Structure 1
């Protein structure tokens, strides 16, 4: 009667079952897979128990030490309750359905089932194989912590919790993917983060109806506010320092299993030109570098289109002496300026992509030597002018100043339609393109927040955290545009106070 009542509570349960039958079911599910280890043990009293797991997922040494030795040395009759008492490991659960058992096996769980019991006991003894914490490769910084995230979610969470030592830190667990589930963590400080942002992020993740999740960068595309924009909506980072700083400011972070990057939302357009090392410098230096990045972005987008427009339609804006030099340089070039610029920009992007895909030492050689040799050969062959070589090189160099790789790539992509507009309509085409970009950015949102905050809507109090970096005594408040619960970081009056040595 008791077993019948148990079945009614969970109609999907496969227990109680004979061990031989359970072995047949497991072998049929893992057909032609020799990695499933299913071992049957029997006591003198005739009680049978099965221990089964996937060999490459579970740590076999821990299985033998922490499970098999206590199980086989037990003098009590085996049962689910006795196993729980004699093997009191922390990562222990019970499973009743075949679906839960299969999912557990795939993530490294080891199962013990005693014949005719109503549930199986599982222990998570995962074999962890991941690289150690190392320096960041894509987001290099001069000052501040140098370590980067790894593919291990546990390691990434430990690093974040080490950086944010507070009981308010929340790492909320979600499983994304129906066929191949993957663990995702929503990271925020509950006493600071706005509940609307947390709920929006949680809802978007829970509403995902996908089979599998490849990486956190793919997850951003699933839950982003706009899938048609070339501009990144969430800030993706491999630096725990940058990730933790944003979470402490009241934003919401997301970490994904088997992904060496996390992302942060909401994010503004201007946050992609900030670097954590700005905070480690004195404020004049940090402000100078931040303004330099904004200027470099603008420089990268309009410099080559401005050259094309001037040479094609607006000779009058070029000084006479420079116009003579420019005419002599372009005298043997058979292409119009628009095609000359597009071809050269394409060659620059080709070299950059080749250098990124080749091994590190070879890639650096290709980028430097290849650029010099090809540039000189193109000029000597009369395919382009030497002045355009300088212009394109400066544009490419400016795009590399963006601390975020995705934003730097976006700037380079935007440059191509701007060149086409400049070649077709001159300076008016450049204005058309600039207005289109501004209107597009005004319409964008990140986690429901305006993408151009604090410029639109205008927030004077946040400008010293965006366009430049003010002295620390004036940065005692968090970013108001993202509506944190606790706006004050520290007392401004106390920060301004000067202490004498005898106080």
Structure 2
């Protein structure tokens, strides 16, 4: 016989579990406290003893609240004014906190307890509770907010931290308008992570906000460790190596995205913010481009794009030419190539794969080790292994130079996630070059272009404004136009307000006055 509270097991599902099974939530306040008392950091006590007309019980998790505030402002006030307390509303009036509310829902009480609230009961009432927010939110969080992974020589160095309230403060400092909206969504069946959807009312297209809102509310996850988890959950396409949302720790980059009509998503406990809809070209723009003259900024942006092209295609071209297309080489290059490969026993494909994997091993080892050891390993290991492989005739000098340059070129990408994608793309192109030479590279490029054409970010084409082609959006794409020509927001985002600002047409010269 099956017991009344015994869970039903679905034998047809994988591992005997039901994917739609939800965690059982306590239905009464007694069940809430019974579950909480299993934890050693949960405390319950009465602040007053003796013959008083009312009995007050205080419940909280010691590790989540500020105990000093409880003793100084709650317990002390109750002990001094116990004679004035006859009902819960009286107790609410003497608590000197802003976030104080009355609740009648035991499930809400349980959720607030694990968020750092104190629960006060009058005469152990089962139907009415006073919730006071004394959460110690800054405990365990770093307060230094300098950017660690997205460096810039010029411009602010302010970055986000793991505290979502501080991140909201940083954004409100930069965008000081009441139209800046922070919409709260809770994600994660076990973590109950606070997630904020940020946009400017009257600028951002409502469709982008609604799409982000629906996908976050429909998110199926138990714990949200970082905003990158949200990125994967709400992405339009999961089977792609390309990041569909721009993830950044820089405040200025997020501010620029918001004022352009994009949506930003903040996750509590994560120092990274994701913005969308994001396009392919957004990942090659650096904040420094806007802090230097437009000619200099445009030059370096073009250098980055050319570096990515070189990083993906240089090694595959070497393999294709030496395997199938010797006739394409000029006579002046034949002799150095022949001398360089005269003692190498491997075909160009094996030689290239060996060096590329060696570079990736050095890069991964340097990233995982402590900073000082990692830098030493990267420099010394690269020099020693490079010279050793050439002297052992395992690879040629020319390919070693090409692979080193492609590795350097991949580091020019400002966004680390896109840099990872560029590193990955080289390997299938090398394989196609070894199988079919130049035809294989062309076929791989067409497949890559077709894949990019299918991608979308919050419903917006990933290659916009290249496809669909929009002539009015190239002022901030491959190059950066002067500021007087960047007064319009991007057309393909369909913002409610197209004009960002209106510069003065005439500049007065007061030098001769």
Deviation of 1:416 (Å): 0.4
User: Over residues 323-368 of structure 1, what are the superposed CA-to-partner deviations in whole Å (9 max), with x where a residue is unaligned?
Assistant: 1111111111111100110110000011011111111111111111
Give the alignment partner of residue 236 of structure 1, picking from 238, 241, 247. Answer: 247
Count, aligned residues: 482
Partners in 1 of 2:288 and 2:416 — Cα distance?
16
Would you say the 8 A contact 1:92–1:122 is kept in 2?
A: yes
Deviation of 1:78 (Å): 4.3
Match of 2:409 in 1: 398
Determine if the alignment matches structure 1 residue 110 to structure 2 residue 106: no
Give the alignment partner of residue 180 of structure 2, picking from 149, 169, 175. Answer: 169
Give the alignment partner of residue 328 of structure 2, picking from 301, 308, 317. Answer: 317
Give the alignment partner of residue 79 of structure 1, picking from 82, 87, 104. Answer: 87
Match of 2:493 in 1: 482
Match of 1:359 in 2: 370
Determine if the alignment matches structure 1 residue 54 to structure 2 residue 30: no
Structure 1 runs of 4+ with >6 Å offset: none
Give the alignment partner of residue 276 of structure 1, picking from 273, 287, 296. Answer: 287
Match of 1:34 in 2: 40
- The SS at the match of 1:278 is helix
Match of 1:500 in 2: 509
Match of 1:4 in 2: none
User: Over residues 367-402 of structure 1, what are the superposed CA-to-partner deviations in whole Å (9 max), with x where a residue is unaligned?
Assistant: 111111111111111111111100000111111000
Would you say the 8 A contact 2:32–2:106 is kept in 1?
A: no
Determine if the alignment matches structure 1 residue 308 to structure 2 residue 319: yes
When normalised by structure 2's length, the TM-score is: 0.91
Match of 2:212 in 1: 201
Structure 2 residue ranges without an equivalent (≥5): 1-25
Partners in 2 of 1:483 and 1:52 — Cα distance?
50
Partners in 1 of 2:69 and 2:235 — Cα distance?
42
Residue 224 to residue 202, structure 1, CA distance change in 2 (3 Å): same
Deviation of 1:27 (Å): 5.5
Partners in 1 of 2:446 and 2:27 — Cα distance?
62
Partners in 2 of 1:351 and 1:13 — Cα distance?
55
Determine if the alignment matches structure 1 residue 98 to structure 2 residue 98: no
Deviation of 1:201 (Å): 0.7
Residue 43 to residue 96, structure 1, CA distance change in 2 (3 Å): farther
Partners in 2 of 1:479 and 1:310 — Cα distance?
42
User: Over residues 256-306 of structure 1, what are the superposed CA-to-partner deviations in whole Å (9 max), with x where a residue is unaligned?
Assistant: 000010000000000000011111110100100111111001010000000
Would you say the 8 A contact 1:49–1:78 is kept in 2?
A: no
Structure 1 residue ranges without an equivalent (≥5): 1-11, 16-21
Partners in 1 of 2:384 and 2:210 — Cα distance?
55
Partners in 1 of 2:124 and 2:271 — Cα distance?
44
Would you say the 8 A contact 1:112–1:122 is kept in 2?
A: yes
User: Over residues 200-227 of structure 1, what are the superposed CA-to-partner deviations in whole Å (9 max), with x where a residue is unaligned?
Assistant: 1111111123322221101110000000
Match of 1:292 in 2: 303
Match of 2:236 in 1: 225
1:240-279 equivalences under 5 Å are 240-279=251-290
Determine if the alignment matches structure 1 residue 456 to structure 2 residue 446: no
User: Over residues 75-98 of structure 1, what are the superposed CA-to-partner deviations in whole Å (9 max), with x where a residue is unaligned?
Assistant: 213421111111141111223333
Deviation of 1:45 (Å): 2.1
Q: Select between 92-101 and 417-426 the one with higher mean Cα deviation.
A: 92-101
1:285-434 equivalences under 5 Å are 285-434=296-445
Partners in 1 of 2:507 and 2:92 — Cα distance?
61
Partners in 1 of 2:200 and 2:145 — Cα distance?
26
When normalised by structure 1's length, the TM-score is: 0.93
Q: Select between 400-409 and 41-50 the one with higher mean Cα deviation.
A: 41-50
Partners in 2 of 1:369 and 1:477 — Cα distance?
49
Give the alignment partner of residue 222 of structure 2, picking from 203, 211, 214. Answer: 211
Deviation of 1:13 (Å): 6.9
Give the alignment partner of residue 64 of structure 1, picking from 51, 67, 71. Answer: 71
Partners in 1 of 2:330 and 2:41 — Cα distance?
75
- The SS at the match of 2:431 is helix
Partners in 1 of 2:32 and 2:418 — Cα distance?
48
Would you say the 8 A contact 2:27–2:107 is kept in 1?
A: no
Give the alignment partner of residue 444 of structure 1, picking from 444, 455, 459. Answer: 455
Q: Select between 255-264 and 137-146 the one with higher mean Cα deviation.
A: 137-146
Partners in 2 of 1:43 and 1:111 — Cα distance?
21
Partners in 1 of 2:91 and 2:28 — Cα distance?
20
Would you say the 8 A contact 2:55–2:124 is kept in 1?
A: no
Deviation of 1:110 (Å): 0.9
